């Protein structure tokens, strides 16, 4: 019976020292600042991509290796979509962690940590995808370079 009471107490409370709470509050403040700056940057990227797509639909100029301005705008819109999720997770972590620490609500603290977990998971998956692209590029670049050297 005593083990069950201890288990229930451990699941319903967040034991932290004042020092840990202070660190979590400071982290949440910096996280919120970075998230707001991220949302502003995201807005700029989206506005610039929309401008590029609109101007690209009227102008048939090519830029940087033959990409059209329209393609450039679409590329930046995709980058903006990818940038949204980590910014959102960071903002949610910051808000919910601060609310949870001040109100001492375990559900808010848990939700804050869930968003932090999602942020790290997102960056982990994105890193795997980017590294996979690097490997694919190397797998195609090395044989094509060898072929080029042999034929010249």
| pLDDT for position 35 | 98
Comparing CA positions, the residue from 90, 93, 55 lying closest to residue 76 is: 55
CA separation for the pair 109, 115 (Å, rounded)? 10
pTM score, whole prediction:
0.76
Instruction: Show the low-confidence residues of the chain (pLDDT under 70).
Output: 1-14, 56-67
Contact 2, 10 (CB under 8 A): no
Residues in Cβ contact with 92 at an 8 Å cutoff, skipping those fewer than 6 apart: 111, 112, 115
**Tens-digit pLDDT profile for residues 11-35:** 556 677 899 999 999 999 999 999 9
């Amino acid at each position: 019976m005593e083990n069950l009471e201890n288990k229930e107490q451990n699941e319903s409370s967040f034991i932290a020292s004042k020092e840990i709470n202070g660190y979590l509050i400071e982290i949440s403040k910096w996280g919120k600042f970075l998230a707001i700056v991220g949302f502003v940057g995201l807005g700029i990227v989206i506005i610039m991509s929309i401008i590029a797509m609109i101007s690209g639909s009227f102008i048939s100029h090519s830029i940087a290796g033959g990409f059209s301005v329209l393609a450039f705008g679409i590329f930046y819109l995709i980058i903006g979509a990818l940038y949204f999720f980590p910014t959102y997770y960071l903002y949610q972590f910051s808000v919910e962690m601060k609310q949870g620490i001040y109100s001492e609500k375990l559900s808010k603290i848990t939700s804050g940590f869930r968003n932090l977990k999602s942020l790290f998971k997102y960056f982990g998956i994105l890193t795997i995808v980017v590294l996979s692209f690097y490997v694919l590029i190397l797998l195609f670049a090395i044989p094509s370079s060898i072929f080029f050297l042999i034929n010249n």
